[in-house]
Structures are given as structure tokens and as C-alpha cells.
Structure 1
């Protein structure tokens, strides 16, 4: 796979938009990028493009936070479970029925995940995890996130809602998401390399995609102080809902 297999302008604009969303909200780069790129390619091919932009922007995000080591200790069971879930997805994919079936299955799961994430975001549903429940709920959320990432290339569900339910301070939450998404991206990269989808051509295309993603993130950080975050989030989740519905219709009616 190479960046020029599809429209260069389309891919660049996707990563500018995805980076902008991440700059405003602290998340959303892989979600937006994969959701839009799958209009042109299978989900895991799209995931291979986002490895470098996602890794760099997530490290950028987690490095800017106030307390990395305490967050690492608190979230370590969840993060290890993310790796385990991604590994299981890789093993199951290796025993699949073929590339066409795998692509259809990935597209269906991605569409449903986007629908669920969009509905939750628009509903504004909030919950809180009791400290005693973190011991078992964190690994469960991490494993489910890794398994879904291994199928769809998107690693926000259910990790993002879980982290939002930990009652972290704003800066700690942004840093926790950066940490979780960094580990998820690296686990996904290992899985794609295992499957042969992460190679020199994919790595080169992913490095090129870093430029528009970084530009978009800088734009998003500039916009964050100049627009209503609530309005931006509603537009973000409504867009995910529409993309998820489109993905499901394409898979189930195609």
C-alpha cells in the first residue's frame, strides 16, 4: 500500500481534519482518520496509515501532562490488557476466512463502534467508576479496546468512556488518553507488522501523513481557546454517527 493508491489530497485533508479534532478535544485522530479513510480502503489498511501520526501526536499529548508516572501505575492493568486484546485479535485474524471476509467483518464492526460512540457522545451520558471497581473494570475495558482495535484500527471504545468515568482532572484526563492511545497504537503497529500490513511502503506513507496531522493538531489547539468546545463536540459526535451509519449501510447492503 502506498499513499498514492488513493487521492493524495483526500488523505492529506483527512489527516488535517483528524489532527484538528485531536487538537481541540485531546482525542479523535484515529477515529476520524479511519472512519474517513475507510471510504476508500479497508479499515486495517487505513490503520497502517495512522501509526506514525497517532504515535507522535499521542506522545506529544502525554508528555505535556503533569503526572505521567502516577497515571502509568494507575492505568497499567488496563494498558497491559489492551496489548492482550490486540494480540488475540491478531491470532483470530490469522485464522480468518480470507481478506474479503475480513474486510467486510472489519467494516461492520467499525460502523457499529462509530454508531455507539456517536450515540453516547450526543446523549451526554456520564457515569463514574468507583475506585474499588477499577481493579477489574480497567482490564476489561482495556481488553475490549485492544480487541476492537485489532479488528477496526480504532481504539477509543470503550477506553475513552472508561477514562472519562475515572473523575480525573482535565489535564490528567488528556494525559491519560495520550498514554492509553500511545500504548494502543504501538500494540496495533505490532499486530499489523505480524500480519504483514506494516512494511516499508506503509511506514513511508504513514510518515508523510504526519505532516498534515501535526498541522491540523496545531490548528485545533489554536481553535480550542476560540470556540465553544460543547458545540465542537456535538458536531464531532454527529459526524461519527453519520459515518458509522454510512459504513453499516455500505457493508450490510453491499
Structure 2
């Protein structure tokens, strides 16, 4: 990883610890690996190279998450308009990333997470009527694609939409896996198209799959001991924590 902008063994150890922790959070609540991995690794290697580092760990952990659970036959027919929309605009977000100052995307994503999580933790319940699922899903998907390409995180506002559908815990986890898997593939194509992915970065990303998957396994083991209601609050708390983490990070990178 010496070509990624930091020296030798120290950077390797940092990356292993970061992806082990990010994998644990993903295994526990179903998301967070790109956000945590990108946010922390950006400090050491810059945002563009950090986005490349998350690709293989994100792809394989999301592939695992998307095929596990046994709900594909129910989820795909219901969610495909949202999923297609989320992929369609991702390249636009990557283009915007190349034009914005460092930190702007982190700050925006953090603010959105906090503004969503606080009222939901306070008791607000959002539900989307069944006859609005497709049009709302397409609109949310288009925004989610731009945000994914811009920030490397696939969470906002896609996870909010999936929660508002009232999916059960295992359905929600698998639906997030589908969104994240397709977004990861599209992000990889987009980064390659904009010349942001080199061979050394791709190899380093592949090596980080091991700590990421180890963390996911540990997180899933812990999640099985949490109730359905507790899990939903845990998801919201994770969104809030990630938002509070990204806001100062964005401000620090901006100024």
C-alpha cells in the first residue's frame, strides 16, 4: 500500500483495524462499512483512493448480505424500480465529487443522517403507502445514486426509504444488501471511467476483504442476540453516530 500515500506497515495495520471495525458495524446493523472505511482511510490516503480501497470489501460483504435471508423472491419485484434508479445516477455523483472541495460531501451526508435519525429516535414513524412505493422509490433511488457517487456511502436516503416500507429485520438487511451490492458495482465502473482506480489500489482493496469479512461475521453473531425493536433502534443510533462522525470530519477537511 505504499503507493497509496502513506508508509508501509503502519498503513497496513491502520487499514486492517479500520476494515475490521467497519465490518463489525456492517454485520451488526447491515451498513456502515463504506462510510466508516472511507471516512477513516481518507485521512491517510485521500478520498479518491479511499473510495477504491472500499470496493472489494464492500462488494463481497454486500454480495454475502444480498443472497442471505431467503427473501429475494419478495424483495426484487417490489424494489427493482428503486434499485435501478439508484444505479442510474451514480456516475453523476462521481463526476460531482471531482468538482467539489474536499469535505463538502462528508458534511452534507453527515447533516442528512443527523436530521433523519434524531426525530426517528424521538418516536417519529415514517410509512410509505403501498400505492406510492414505486414513484417514491424511483425519486429516492435517483437521489441515492448521486449521493453514493459523491460520498462512497450508499446509506442516504436509501436506507431511510427501506425502513419506511416497514420491512422486517431480515428483509431489511437483505434489501440493504441488494442496494449496496448494485451500488458498489456501479461505483467501481464509475471510478474506473473517471480514471480514479489503479492496479495497486485494486490489489490493496482485495487484501482488505479478509479483515472486513471477519468483522462482518462477528457483527452478525452479535446481531442475533438483539430483539427486533432493539435492532431498529440500533440502526437509527448507528445512522446518528455516523452522521455525528462525518460532520466534524467534513469540516476538518474543508478548512
- TM-score range for the pair, normalised by the shorter chain length: 0.7 to 0.9
Deviations 1:78-98 (A, max 9, x none): 11111221122345567x4xx
2:59 to 39, 55, 61: 55
Aligned to 2:112: 116
Q: Which residue of 2 aligns with 1:167?
A: 166
For 2:157, the equivalent position in structure 1 comes to: 158
When residues 245 and 92 of structure 1 are mapped into structure 2, their CA distance, relative to the original with a 3 A threshold, is closer
CA–CA distance in structure 2, aligned partners of residues 130 and 46 of structure 1: 38
- After superposition, the Cα gap between the structure-2 partners of 1:67 and 1:201, relative to the gap in structure 1 and judged at 3 Å, is same
Match of 1:86 in 2: 90
Distance across 2 between alignment mates of 1:50 and 1:119: 26
Cα distance in 2, alignment partners of residues 87 and 220 from structure 1: 31
Match of 2:18 in 1: 14
Task: Give the match for residue 134 of structure 2.
Answer: 135
The answer for the alignment partner of 2:238 in structure 1 is 236
Quick one: distance in 1 between partners of 2:177 and 2:83?
12
Q: Deviation per CA, 1:84-137, whole angstroms, max 9, x where unpaired?
A: 21122345567x4xxxxx452xx2122221232134224424301111112211
Q: 1:99 maps to which residue?
A: none
* Moved segments of 4+, more than 6 Å: none
Structure 2: 5+ residue stretches without partners: none
Cα RMSD of the aligned pairs, angstroms, is 2.3
Number of aligned residue pairs: 245
Residue 193 of structure 1 is matched in structure 2 by 192
Q: Would the aligned equivalents of 1:111 and 1:248 in 2 still touch at CA under 8 Å?
A: yes
| 1:42-62 residue CA offsets vs partner (Å, 9 max, x unmatched) | 333211111111111111111
* Residue 74 (structure 1) aligns with: 78
User: Is 2:24–2:219's contact at 8 Å kept on the other side of the alignment?
Assistant: yes
Of residues 52-61 and 235-244 in structure 1, the stretch that sits farther from structure 2 once superposed is 235-244
- Mean Cα displacement is larger for which, 176-185 or 83-92? 83-92
Unpaired segments ≥5 residues, structure 1: 97-101
